[in-house]
C-alpha cells in the first residue's frame, strides 16, 4: 500500500508474517525497512539500515502532522520509531531529538 511522502507498507502473502516498505525516520529521511508480525494493532516491530548499521524499532501509520485521523490536507505516512533503549538509535535522529530523549529518560 502506498502512502504520502514516498512511504509504503507491503505485507507478505499468504499470512502476512513479514512486511517491508519505506518509512520516514525521526531525522526526516525516508528509509527502507523490514518488519515482522505485528505485536499490537498500532505498531509493527521493524528495522532500518543507517550508515551500514541496523537500527531496531517499530513502524506505525499516522498522518504527516502526527494524528490518527486522516484528512485531505493531512495524509497518512508510515513512520519508523527507534527503540531508545537499544544501541544505534541515534543514527536515525537529529542531535536535538537525541538531547531531548536523553533528558526525558
pLDDT of residue 36: 87
pLDDT of amino acid 104: 63
Grid coordinates of 93: 535522529
| Residue for grid cell 513502524 | 59
b or e along 38-69 (b: 16 or more beta carbons within 10 Å of the residue's beta carbon)? beeeebbbbbbebeeeebebbbbbbbbeeeee
What is the value of pTM for the model shown? 0.86
Helices (H) and strands (E) in the chain, counts: 1, 6
Give the model's pLDDT for residue 63: 95
> In terms of DSSP H, where are the helices of 43-84?
none
pLDDT for the residue numbered 105:
56
> Cell numbers at residue 89, please?
538509535
Q: Tens digit of pLDDT for each residue in 16-64?
A: 788 999 999 999 999 999 998 877 778 899 999 999 999 999 999 999 9
Selection from 101, 103, 96, 93 nearest residue 24 by Cα: 93
Q: Return the pLDDT at 5.
A: 94
Tell me: pLDDT of 97 over 80: no
Amino acid at each position: 500500500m502506498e502512502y504520502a511522502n514516498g512511504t509504503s507498507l507491503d505485507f507478505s502473502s499468504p499470512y502476512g508474517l513479514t512486511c517491508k516498505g519505506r518509512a520516514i525516520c525521526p531525522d526526516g529521511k525516508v528509509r527502507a525497512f523490514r518488519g515482522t508480525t505485528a505485536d499490537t494493532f498500532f505498531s509493527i516491530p521493524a528495522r532500518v539500515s543507517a550508515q551500514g548499521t541496523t537500527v531496531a524499532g517499530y513502524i506505525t501509520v499516522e498522518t504527516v502532522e502526527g494524528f490518527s485521523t486522516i484528512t485531505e490536507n493531512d495524509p497518512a505516512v508510515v513512520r519508523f520509531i527507534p527503540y531508545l533503549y537499544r544501541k544505534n538509535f541515534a543514527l536515525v535522529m537529529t542531535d536535538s531529538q537525541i538531547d531531548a530523549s536523553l533528558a526525558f529518560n
